[in-house]
Amino acid sequence: MIRRFNPVGVPGPFNTYSHGVEVTPPTRLLFGAGQAGVDSDGAVAAGIEAQSRLVWQHIASILAEADMEITDIVQLNMLLVDREDRAGASRVRSEFLGDHRPASTLMVVSGLANPDWLIEVDFIAAKDSSTGPA
């Protein structure tokens, strides 16, 4: 079972997230490593929206491989190297998340593993263990 918490008196949420997400058994958990805006040939996409789109496509593919969907994400961390990229990254994120609201953190950092990367997103997904592979 998955429950979301956005209590009265806690400011926000200020974007597409919930303040807290509870996951109770029986649930499968998938921990997704940080995904960057790199295509299958290793080329880094140009610009924040193109990189963000690749990030979310990679996340969707990883989830599909685990018989999960974007709506199974319960926690995500989005790292940006430029605060000015927030609007573009959020626009693409909203396209993929729709009305789904996982717990989330946005960080602006001084750099990522590759200096050409503008964004990196990692995640945790949860799904009732009776609805997918063990």
| CATH number of the domain where residue 98 is located | 3.30.1330.40
Is the residue at 55 inside a domain? yes
pLDDT at 134: 47
Is the residue at 92 inside a domain? yes
Rounded CA separation 71/93 (Å)? 12
pLDDT at 133: 52
Burial 9-38, CB ≥16 within 10 A → b, else e: eeeeeeebbbeebebeeebbebebebbbbb
Q: Provide the residue range defining the domain that includes 120.
A: 21-129
Whether 91 shows a pLDDT value over 90: the answer reads yes
Is the residue at 13 inside a domain? no
Q: Provide the number of structural domains found in the chain.
A: 1
Is the residue at 6 inside a domain? no
Q: What is the mean pLDDT of residues 68-92?
A: 97
Q: What is the mean pLDDT of residues 26-45?
A: 94
Question: H or E element: which one contains 30?
Answer: strand 27-36
